[in-house]
Amino acid sequence: GVMERLGLGPEVLLHENPRLIYARLTGFGQTGKYAKSAGHDINYLALSGVLSKLGRKNENPYAPVNLLADFAGGGVMCALGIVTALFERARSGRGQVVDASMVEGVAYLSSFLWKSQKVGLWNQPRGENLLDSGAPFYEVYKTSDGKFMAVGAIEPKFYNQLIKGLGLNLDELPAQMSLFDWPEMKKKFASIFAQKTQAEWCSIFDSTDACVTPVLSFDNAASHQHNKERSSFIKNDQGEISPRPAPVLSRTPAVPSCKRDPFVGEHTEEILLEYGFTKQEIAKLYSDKAIELNNLKANL
């Protein structure tokens, strides 16, 4: 309701410009019992049902920072809604309102979980399924130097290479999909991974299709050979590292800025002047605490 109180709701603006795409990104959506309630990623994740699936056996559900509901279910899905509305406008010539709810966005992203329950992928309690740390071949293991290796050897041909790399004999082990034996197999794999360093395991698995990769820190991710070859990470003029824009387009790839991130309010005056505000009006906005100005100039 904030935009309506400012006289800038979609009804007003779409009346002025019927081609406008008006995106509304909220946690709970524009309608419903929680529509006006405060919340954060963890709350939206909880209401979507997804949080109940995240976590290990016999532990509380956990939210993986704020990537799922905020950025994926919210930002990315809202951006997709805008692109979809723009595509539709090219045919109809009319704009519309995009109601992007983080609850619904992350729920929709989890459609795979909902639709795969009947095929046996998610019919066990949390932490006991194929992809949620239940399987020994889809897990993270600690190495002798306190680092970690990620294992995702689901298909039999990949699993066979995992077993070979671990120095085990496939014929002497339980069947890969024997759920009853998974807990003991996890213990066995963990004890083996704990005998070598991360670098040693990389030397064993890097040239294979065992789906075993090192768990890299931010610093190590940027310096890893594969990521360096693809220029997956970039440095700004302050030497700060961040991911390169993705996905990469063949003909019109994004050209990332190598300038440092701006300070809050650094360009406020510059932008407002460009939009026709006078210095006196900008000074009034600042004194009313409506805007922030960094390095406030004396002539204001």
8 A C-beta contact, residue 77 and residue 108: yes
Active site residues: 40, 70
pLDDT digits (tens, 9 = 90+) for 255-267: 988 888 888 999 9
Average pLDDT score, the chain: 94
Q: Which domains does the chain have, with CATH numbers?
A: 2-119 (3.40.50.10540), 138-215 (3.30.1540.10), 261-299 (no CATH)
pLDDT for position 300:
47
- With 70 as the cut, is the pLDDT of residue 296 above it? no
Sign of CA dihedral 251, 257, 261, 263: negative
Measure the CA–CA gap between 201 and 145, rounded to whole angstroms.
Answer: 11
Residue 56 pLDDT grade (very low, low, confident, very high; cuts 50, 70, 90): very high
pLDDT for position 262:
87
Measure the CA–CA gap between 285 and 292, rounded to whole angstroms.
Answer: 9
Residue 295 pLDDT grade (very low, low, confident, very high; cuts 50, 70, 90): low
pLDDT for position 297:
52
- pTM listed for this prediction: 0.86
pLDDT digits (tens, 9 = 90+) for 204-245: 999 999 999 999 999 999 999 999 999 999 999 989 999 999
